[in-house]
């Protein structure tokens, strides 16, 4: 008995001490050990392991100080910096605080479906190594809204321990639900009082018929409904205020479809638009031709210009009156800056994080601060849309 107790004590001591050592050395441990190990695993196991590492304090914290010009206010919410984690990484709200402390200014949890569902069979995530890109056909694997909402609520109970930062929730629908409106309604009810913003995701290519919800009449109907539900759910404003409602769109729309979506969003006073989800296109020049044949949505650098040009179109169409969250192929400060100059107020990324690891976040923030200051901007907000209404003066300089 005494021997068993002794063994237990020793085991507890060893686990705790090694945990503490690893935690303390997380900065040094991630780059040489964790990052190469993750690349050896298949993409989904690597992702699951990254989430596990984040949950257990193994992701290095960003200890640097951001340039004050990166701070911005959008929808009355304060963002310490405009670089956020895109939906799909923390689908279940497992590691929000770890990702905020790794340096993101905001995190978009989800997509969350009302009921738990498995998603598509594995394998469903594929690396296009040479293109630094990914194809996924996850199909909304989700633990369901009650589990995620409880996690986020718990975090708010201990708000003093929680990392400062904005947390949005991205809503999806269950595969078998016939009436999509009902699922988004459930999502809004579950998260309206705890999310800093809500995203109506109607653009994942991996849920049958989902993208049809982007069509003019269906979209108007859906958005009117969710906005009414949000307002009814929060008749009395919660301390955080009503969460803004955003729509996440596909990069595979025709110009006419895009114009219809933008007109509808403006008419219904939607608060913002996330541009964009993954693409079903396979742009010319992909190096990993074999993997590119996999079904699913492509993300990473091959998506970059496609999404940036849509950001520009939407900024122009709306005269900058609709908040744009720019996402798609951002893997450097230059990429983020291009999207801001094209009209994005906030930036998100995912695929580059999977390839580069969390040190990328600081790198982008430093680079972006330098680019903004080089061009004479006092703050990131001054640069939004600067490439869109460019008139060329006689000396050919941008103004």
Q: Which of 134, 219, 227, 368 binds ligand FMN (CB under 6 A)?
A: 134
CA distance from start to end of the chain: 80
Query: Judged by CB, which is closer to ligand FMN: 138, or 371?
Result: 138
- Cβ proximity of 187 and 232 under 8 Å: no
Quick one: which H or E segment has residue 380?
Answer: helix 380-383
Q: Which of 174, 214, 264, 278 binds ligand FMN (CB under 6 A)?
A: 278
Report how far residue 365's alpha carbon sits from residue 28's, in angstroms, rounded to the nearest whole number: 20
Q: Which of 300, 343, 358, 385 binds ligand FMN (CB under 6 A)?
A: 300
Query: Judged by CB, which is closer to ligand FMN: 84, or 165?
Result: 84
From 14-22, 53-61, 132-140, 219-227, give the range in contact with ligand FMN by CB under 6 A.
132-140
**Residues near 154 by beta carbon (within 8 Å), at least 6 away in sequence:** none
Residue 299 binds to ligand FMN (criterion: CB under 6 A) = yes
Q: Which of 229, 303, 306, 324 binds ligand FMN (CB under 6 A)?
A: 303
Report how far residue 151's alpha carbon sits from residue 146's, in angstroms, rounded to the nearest whole number: 9
- Torsion on CA atoms 197, 202, 207, 213, rounded to nearest 10: 150
Of 63-82, binders to ligand FMN (CB under 6 A) are none
Query: Judged by CB, which is closer to ligand FMN: 14, or 41?
Result: 41
- Backbone conformation region of residue 292, classed left if phi is above 0, alpha if psi is from -120 to 50, else beta: alpha
Per the annotation, the verdict on 45 as an active-site residue is no
Binding mask 182-221 for ligand FMN (x = CB under 6 A): -------------------x--x-----------------
Query: Judged by CB, which is closer to ligand FMN: 22, or 143?
Result: 143
Q: How far is the CB of 134 from ligand FMN (least distance, A)?
A: 4
Q: Which of 91, 211, 242, 313 binds ligand FMN (CB under 6 A)?
A: 91
**Which pairs from 185-188 meet CB under 8 Å and 24+ separation?**
185/225, 185/226, 185/229, 186/114, 186/145, 187/112, 187/113, 187/114, 187/145, 188/226, 188/229, 188/230, 188/233, 188/245
Residue 86 binds to ligand FMN (criterion: CB under 6 A) = yes
Query: Judged by CB, which is closer to ligand FMN: 91, or 211?
Result: 91
Query: Judged by CB, which is closer to ligand FMN: 59, or 134?
Result: 134
Report how far residue 126's alpha carbon sits from residue 134's, in angstroms, rounded to the nearest whole number: 6
| Alpha-carbon distances of 24 from 13, 34, 61, 217, 363, rounded to whole Å | 16, 15, 11, 54, 22
Of 111, 149, 203, 204, the active-site residue reads 204
Report how far residue 251's alpha carbon sits from residue 278's, in angstroms, rounded to the nearest whole number: 7
Q: Burial letters for 263-280: b for 16+ Cβ neighbours within 10 Å, e otherwise?
A: ebbeeeebbbbbbbbbbb
Binding mask 321-360 for ligand FMN (x = CB under 6 A): ------xxxx------------------xxxx--------
- Cβ proximity of 278 and 207 under 8 Å: no
Report how far residue 330's alpha carbon sits from residue 83's, in angstroms, rounded to the nearest whole number: 10
From 21-29, 130-138, 212-220, 280-288, give the range in contact with ligand FMN by CB under 6 A.
130-138
Q: How far is the CB of 125 from ligand FMN (least distance, A)?
A: 5
Q: How far is the CB of 263 from ligand FMN (least distance, A)?
A: 22
Report how far residue 138's alpha carbon sits from residue 42's, in angstroms, rounded to the nearest whole number: 14
Query: Judged by CB, which is closer to ligand FMN: 328, or 385?
Result: 328
Report how far residue 185's alpha carbon sits from residue 132's, in angstroms, rounded to the nearest whole number: 36
Query: Judged by CB, which is closer to ligand FMN: 74, or 364?
Result: 364
Binding mask 1-40 for ligand FMN (x = CB under 6 A): ----------------------------------------
Q: How far is the CB of 276 from ligand FMN (least distance, A)?
A: 6
Which residue, among 84, 82, 20, 30, has the nearest Cα to 54 in the 3D structure?
30
Q: Which of 248, 313, 339, 341 binds ligand FMN (CB under 6 A)?
A: 248
Report how far residue 4's alpha carbon sits from residue 16's, in angstroms, rounded to the nearest whole number: 18
| Active-site residue list | 204
Binding interface with ligand FMN (CB under 6 A): 86-88, 91, 110-111, 125, 134, 136, 138, 140, 170, 201, 204, 248, 277-278, 299-300, 303, 327-330, 349-352
């Amino acid at each position: 008995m005494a021997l068993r107790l002794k063994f237990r004590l020793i085991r507890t001591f060893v686990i705790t001490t090694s945990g503490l050592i690893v935690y303390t050395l997380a900065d040094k441990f991630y780059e040489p050990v964790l990052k190469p190990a993750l690349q050896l695993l298949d993409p989904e196991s690597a992702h699951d392991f990254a989430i596990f590492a984040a949950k257990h304090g193994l992701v290095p914290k960003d200890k640097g100080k951001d340039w004050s010009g990166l701070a911005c206010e959008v929808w009355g919410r304060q963002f310490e910096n405009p670089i956020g984690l895109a939906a799909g990484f923390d689908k279940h709200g497992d590691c929000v605080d770890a990702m905020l402390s790794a340096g993101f200014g905001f995190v978009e949890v989800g997509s969350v479906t009302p009921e738990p569902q498995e998603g598509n069979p594995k394998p469903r995530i594929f690396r296009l190594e040479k293109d630094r890109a990914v194809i996924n056909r996850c199909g909304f694997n989700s633990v369901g809204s009650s589990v995620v909402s409880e996690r986020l609520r718990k975090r708010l109970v201990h708000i003093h321990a929680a990392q400062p930062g904005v947390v949005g929730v991205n809503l999806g629908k269950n595969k078998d639900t016939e009436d999509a409106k009902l699922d988004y309604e459930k999502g809004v009810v579950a998260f309206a009082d705890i999310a800093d913003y809500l995203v109506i995701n109607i653009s994942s290519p991996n849920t049958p018929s989902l993208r049809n919800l982007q069509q003019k009449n269906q979209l108007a109907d859906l958005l009117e409904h969710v906005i009414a539900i949000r307002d009814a759910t929060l008749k009395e404003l919660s301390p955080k205020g009503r969460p803004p409602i955003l729509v996440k769109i596909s990069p595979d729309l025709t110009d006419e479809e895009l114009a219809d979506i933008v007109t509808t969003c403006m008419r219904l006073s939607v608060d913002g638009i996330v541009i964009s989800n993954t693409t079903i296109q396979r742009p010319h020049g992909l190096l990993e031709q074999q993997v590119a044949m996999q079904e699913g949505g492509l993300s990473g650098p091959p998506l970059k210009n496609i999404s940036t040009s849509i950001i520009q179109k939407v900024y122009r169409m709306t005269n900058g009156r609709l908040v744009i969250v720019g996402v798609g192929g951002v893997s450097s400060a230059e990429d983020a800056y291009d999207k801001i100059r094209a009209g994005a107020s906030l930036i998100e990324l995912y695929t580059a994080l999977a390839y580069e690891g969390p040190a990328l976040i600081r790198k982008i923030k430093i680079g972006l601060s330098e680019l903004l200051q080089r061009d004479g901007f006092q703050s990131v907000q001054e640069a939004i849309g600067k490439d869109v209404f460019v008139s060329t003066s006689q000396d050919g300089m941008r103004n």
